[in-house]
Structure 1
Amino acid sequence: MQTTQHCAETRRAATEPHQFPSLDLVNRPTVPTEQAAYYLNRRPQTMRGWASAETFPDGLRPVRINGRLAWPVSGIRSALGVQ
């Protein structure tokens, strides 16, 4: 039986959250689920559940593009109360 050796960098990459730019610096109309979850302090799976059950906050309706969810930046800002 072989054991797999993981380097410290691999372990760190699996446990550290992604770092996304500040919401003020985002100039795209939509962001992917992981980035939206980061800004809203939620898990990506929560965002997917909102989209599936259509229980997202007002103004935050996601757009489906080729089977993937894209979350409007304006909706994220309104959900956070930031303009």
Structure 2
Amino acid sequence: MQTAINHSAETRRAVTESHQFPSLELVNRPTVPTEHAAYYLNRRPQTLRLWAMGSGPIQPLRINGRLAWPVADLKKLLGVA
């Protein structure tokens, strides 16, 4: 019974996230915040924060102390046209 409850909670979260984050092909901004980039890359935001220290396949811009991930780099990394 517990597994069914967890599964439905995961399904609701996935549906909610899909409404929160538009498809990467539809993003027309030059950068996205860490949470969005993590969603598109299927990673946790903390992983991207580690990448920002120089160990990742892409590097973010820093705008007023915040990380901004270039959409063009995300698309290139994911192979999205």
Q: Give the TM-score, by structure 2 length.
A: 0.75
Q: Distance in 1 between matches of 2:59 and 2:50?
A: 12
Q: Give the TM-score, by structure 1 length.
A: 0.73
Give SS of 2:55's match.
coil
| Identity score, percent | 66
List structure 1 runs of 4+ shifted beyond 6 angstroms. none
Matched ranges for 1:42-81 at <5 A: 42-52=43-53, 54-57=54-57, 60-81=58-79
Q: Distance in 2 between matches of 1:35 and 1:61?
A: 15
Q: Gapped runs of 5+ residues in structure 2?
A: 1-8
Structure with higher helix content: 2
Instruction: State which of 13, 23, 34 in structure 2 corresponds to 1:16.
Output: 13
State the Cα deviation string for residues 28-78 of structure 1 (Å, max 9, x = none): 0000000000000000000001102x1121xx2200001100000000001
Q: Gapped runs of 5+ residues in structure 1?
A: 1-11
**Pairwise CA RMSD:** 1.7
The alignment covers a number of residue pairs equal to: 67
Higher alpha-carbon Rg: 1
Letter in 2 for 1:21: P
Give SS of 2:52's match.
helix
Match of 1:39 in 2: 40
